[in-house]
Chains A and B, each alone.
Chain A
């Protein structure tokens, strides 16, 4: 089956940029997603990118996709304390099912 990998932890200073990385294995993935999970809450769809795109920008969020290397990243500009959360990368296969990475816990320090 599919396998999505992420680093588990990231610590960033408030105001700096955060970059969360993800690698996936299913070359037929059509969409790749980033979800955010705040403590005690469900997953919130943050953004996504279609597989024929290289980049997508949405306010403070930038998604970069390197399809050749099967590498996805999420950049958060001007990171704020409210950005502290777990971020999950997910790929969507042909059957529309999602495969998730283990999640990256982002801690924003003052």
Chain B
């Protein structure tokens, strides 16, 4: 257990509404990641952070933004949710041995 929690765990929202997902870690790791998981695609990296206020894009960043104002929290925002963003979202941290450990996930449904 790498001390990672995600909230909410489940969310249903309507197309066009903003949504923010939160990832919280308790072990002061510098690197944090947001992935989405879709059938047939495995996990794809959306954005990642390498420190407070330091973030960068992953391979599927369009339609998403992130913020990291504190070491322990990494927020993922969908400014205007679309049905194609229905997915399971996972947060991960990278520890000092470069291994990544994952949170329990957030299931998001956009109707």
- Using CB atoms and an 8 Å cutoff, list the residues of chain A in contact with chain B: 1, 4, 8, 31, 35, 41-45, 48, 88, 90, 92, 96-98, 100-103
Q: Which chain B residues border A102 with CB–CB below 8 Å?
A: 39-42
- Using CB atoms and an 8 Å cutoff, list the residues of chain B in contact with chain A: 4, 31, 39-45, 48, 58-59, 90, 92, 94, 98-105
Q: Is the interface of B mostly helix, strand, loop or mixed?
A: strand
Q: List 6 A-B contacts (CB under 8 A).
A: A35-B102, A45-B101, A90-B43, A96-B94, A97-B45, A103-B42
Q: Which chain A residues border B103 with CB–CB below 8 Å?
A: 42
Tell me the smallest distance from the CB of B26 to a CB of chain A, in Å: 16
Contacts A45-B99, A48-B99 hold; do A101 and B105 have CB atoms under 8 A apart? no
Tell me the smallest distance from the CB of A89 to a CB of chain B, in Å: 9
